[in-house]
């Protein structure tokens, strides 16, 4: 008789389930025609965005579908950060990118562009009550927010004395302006105007005069076999009136005449060798290291103070105090740090503004608050467990010697517990050090963000991110060495 083994049954289920998932993930398109993976960053309405039901919508999306139908291929859209598109094209992990990408001479050295499909330009957005900024020249010494890796970011860099902060998406940069943390945003005019006109962005106005004239193109890798296919599709939709229909649908007007050629040739880049590239990047990355260390050290100090307090309070005999500390730990351990950073930096000022208060948070302060609150939750657990690990006889002995409860904690329990807490506290510091990279999302230029900014300019993702990783590794190795020395030293001193 075959014996039923629950373990074996569970294993087979897992194997079958996993195989099904893998097969589904790797499924090949069998509907005929090639399938091109086309990247887009869907936070750029009306060009590419997610509709109410989560499906992709927009001018570029409709256009790409029409181009595919005209040239007889299928499209599979893939969401990707805008600054990751060119590296992804170079690595050939995607076949093309349609993301309101301006055809620039610099980019054309790294990727190949289709013929232009849209005429746009950059515009400055400011708060509606701002009388100060009237054009490009008045941006000097002002605070400007931009989306990382865009032409808007490049333009902002050319403003003398400006403090530029870069965000992962255009809506985040605009939110920054709305929250009063910056004076202006430089972004593609149709996108900012769309946000203002649809009422999604309130209290913001757009300076009419355009800063540039730009043309969007569909990008592919250099020498991609798909470029001619895409150009052929584009030519058809321009001719058969489909382009005009799509333009009319999204912009309620007739399209301007577009050049049928690129403003300059799809040229070749003069590639810097890896060593010189890394040497060039090193000083900027080292500035990032200082910022990362500053952020980690300040946050760990506040985290230690807060965490010790919460950990000790958690051992209180008063039930509501215990419940409160439990709730704190559960909340900060149970929600992603990234969400907490967004809540503090973008959410808090927005709430205050709705209540009629002006309140803006400095990036460093917001980063430190988020990291300290989060690490305090973990440290609290370490402290609590450390204290509870000391045998009860110790405090009984201390009490019988006449020490009060504070003295018992201060001289007997805590010193012993602290020694046990060092290894987990060290782990906590190391994860905090790595977590500082999440603060990049609020435009804080720590080590990782510095790397991203360099890649946004030279598109050498592998070398730069590898270097960033090595620097983080050095930082964590040095920290763990320091922590184990501290541990040994404390043991020797018999603390
Ligand atoms: N046109 C600008 C550029 O190429 C911005 C494009 C941003 N696109 C996006 N989907 N976020 O740099």
Q: What is the pLDDT of residue 495?
A: 56
User: What is the signed CA dihedral for 145, 147, 152, 155, rounded to 10 degrees?
Assistant: 60
Q: How far is the CA of 326 from the centre of ligand 1 (A)?
A: 45
Residue (of 338, 342, 318) closest to 326 by Cα position: 318
Is 83's C-beta closer than 6 angstroms to any atom of ligand 1?
Answer: no
User: What is the signed CA dihedral for 340, 341, 343, 345, rounded to 10 degrees?
Assistant: 160
166 forms bridges with which residues in the sheet? 146
152: which 2 tokens?
């808007």
Q: What is the pLDDT of residue 40?
A: 97
Strand pairing class (143-147; 163-167): parallel
Alpha-carbon distance of 243 to 240, in angstroms, equals 8
Is 325's C-beta closer than 6 angstroms to any atom of ligand 1?
Answer: no
Alpha-carbon distance of 3 to 441, in angstroms, equals 55
In the Cβ-directed half-sphere of 171, how many Cα atoms lie within 13 Å?
Answer: 13
Is 60's C-beta closer than 6 angstroms to any atom of ligand 1?
Answer: no
Q: What is the pLDDT of residue 30?
A: 38
Alpha-carbon distance of 126 to 206, in angstroms, equals 6
Is 48's C-beta closer than 6 angstroms to any atom of ligand 1?
Answer: yes
pLDDT tens over the chain, length 495 residues: 445 555 565 555 555 554 544 444 444 443 457 999 999 999 999 999 999 888 999 999 999 999 999 999 999 999 999 999 999 999 999 999 999 999 999 999 999 999 999 999 999 999 999 999 999 999 999 999 999 999 999 999 999 999 999 999 999 999 999 989 999 999 999 999 999 999 888 899 999 889 999 999 999 999 999 999 999 999 999 999 999 999 999 999 999 999 988 777 666 666 778 889 899 999 999 999 999 999 999 999 999 999 999 999 999 989 999 999 999 999 999 999 999 999 999 888 888 888 888 777 888 999 999 999 999 999 999 999 999 999 889 989 998 999 998 899 888 998 899 989 999 999 999 999 999 999 999 988 999 999 999 998 888 899 999 999 999 999 999 999 999 999 888 888 765
Q: What is the pLDDT of residue 135?
A: 93
Q: What is the pLDDT of residue 459?
A: 85
Is 204's C-beta closer than 6 angstroms to any atom of ligand 1?
Answer: no
Q: How far is the CA of 136 from the centre of ligand 1 (A)?
A: 20
DSSP notation for 337-404: HHHHHHIIIIIHHHHHHHTT------HHHHHHHHHHHHHHHHHHHHHHHHHHTS-HHHHHHHHHTT--
Tell me which H or E stretch contains 39.
strand 34-40
Is 102's C-beta closer than 6 angstroms to any atom of ligand 1?
Answer: yes
Q: What is the pLDDT of residue 25?
A: 43
What predicted TM-score, i.e. pTM, was given to this entire model?
A: 0.82
- The pairs formed by 486-489 with CB atoms below 8 angstroms and a separation of 24 or more are 486/422, 487/419, 487/422, 487/423, 487/426
244-to-63, 71, 100, 241, 257 alpha-carbon distances in Å: 10, 18, 17, 5, 11
Please count the other Cβ atoms lying within 10 Å of the Cβ belonging to residue 289. 17
Residue with tokens 């351990």, as numbered in its chain? 333
Look at residue 459 and give its three-state secondary structure. Answer: coil
Is 41's C-beta closer than 6 angstroms to any atom of ligand 1?
Answer: yes
Is 99's C-beta closer than 6 angstroms to any atom of ligand 1?
Answer: yes
- DSSP conformation class of 135: S
Q: How far is the CA of 347 from the centre of ligand 1 (A)?
A: 25
Q: What is the pLDDT of residue 27?
A: 40
Is 166's C-beta closer than 6 angstroms to any atom of ligand 1?
Answer: no
Residue of the CA atom closest to atom 12 of ligand 1:
150
Alpha-carbon distance of 329 to 50, in angstroms, equals 35
Q: How far is the CA of 27 from the centre of ligand 1 (A)?
A: 31
256: which 2 tokens?
């301007």
Is 150's C-beta closer than 6 angstroms to any atom of ligand 1?
Answer: yes
Is 100's C-beta closer than 6 angstroms to any atom of ligand 1?
Answer: yes
Q: What is the pLDDT of residue 269?
A: 63
**Of ligand 1's atoms, which has the minimum distance to the CA of residue 42?**
10
Q: What is the pLDDT of residue 75?
A: 97
Q: How far is the CA of 152 from the centre of ligand 1 (A)?
A: 8
Q: Render the burial of 10-39: b for 16+ CB within 10 Å, e for the rest.
A: eeeeeeeeeeeeeeeeeeeeeeeeebbbbb
């Amino acid at each position: 008789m075959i014996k039923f083994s629950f373990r074996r049954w569970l294993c087979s289920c897992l194997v079958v389930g996993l195989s099904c998932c893998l097969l589904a993930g790797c499924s090949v398109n069998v509907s005929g025609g090639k399938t091109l993976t086309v990247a887009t960053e869907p936070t750029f309405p009306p060009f590419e965005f997610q509709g109410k039901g989560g499906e992709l919508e927009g001018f570029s999306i409709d256009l790409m579908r029409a181009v595919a139908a005209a040239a007889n291929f299928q499209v599979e859209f893939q969401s990707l950060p805008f600054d990751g598109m060119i590296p992804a094209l170079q690595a050939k992990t995607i076949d093309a990118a349609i993301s309101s990408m301006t055809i620039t001479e610099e980019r054309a050295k790294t990727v190949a562009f289709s013929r232009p499909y849209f005429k746009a330009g950059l515009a400055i957005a400011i708060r509606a009550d701002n009388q100060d900024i009237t054009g490009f020249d008045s941006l000097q010494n002002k605070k400007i927010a931009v989306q990382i890796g865009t032409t808007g970011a490049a333009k902002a860099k050319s403003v003398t004395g400006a403090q530029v902060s870069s965000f992962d998406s255009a809506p985040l940069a605009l939110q920054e302006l709305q929250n009063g943390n910056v004076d202006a945003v430089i972004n593609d005019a149709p996108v900012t105007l769309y946000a203002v006109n649809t009422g999604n962005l309130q209290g913001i106005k757009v300076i009419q005069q355009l800063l540039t004239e730009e043309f969007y193109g569909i990008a592919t890798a250099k020498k991609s076999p798909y470029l001619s296919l895409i150009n052929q599709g584009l030519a058809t939709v321009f001719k058969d009136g489909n382009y005009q229909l799509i333009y009319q649908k999204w912009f309620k007007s007739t399209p301007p005449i577009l050049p049928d050629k690129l403003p300059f040739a799809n040229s070749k880049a003069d590639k810097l060798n890896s060593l010189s590239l890394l040497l060039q990047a090193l000083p900027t990355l080292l500035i990032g290291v200082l910022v990362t260390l500053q952020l980690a050290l300040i946050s760990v100090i506040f985290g230690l103070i807060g965490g010790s307090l919460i950990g000790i309070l958690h051992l209180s005999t008063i039930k509501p105090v215990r419940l409160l500390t439990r709730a704190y730990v559960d909340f900060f351990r149970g929600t992603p740090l990234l969400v907490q950073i967004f809540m503090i930096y973008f959410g808090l000022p927005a709430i205050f503004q709705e209540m009629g208060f002006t309140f803006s948070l400095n990036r460093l302060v917001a980063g430190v608050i988020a990291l300290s609150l989060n690490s305090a939750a973990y440290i609290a657990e370490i402290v609590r467990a450390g204290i509870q690990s000391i045998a009860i006889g110790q405090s009984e002995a201390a009490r019988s010697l006449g020490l009060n409860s504070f003295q018992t904690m201060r001289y007997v329990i805590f010193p012993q517990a602290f020694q046990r807490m060092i290894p987990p506290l060290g782990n906590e510091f190391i994860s905090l050090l790595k977590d500082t990279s999440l603060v990049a999302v609020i435009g804080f230029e720590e080590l990782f963000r510095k790397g991203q900014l360099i890649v946004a300019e030279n598109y050498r993702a592998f070398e730069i991110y590898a270097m960033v990783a090595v620097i983080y590794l050095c930082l964590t190795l040095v920290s763990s060495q320091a922590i184990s020395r501290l541990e040994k030293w404390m043991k020797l001193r018999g603390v």
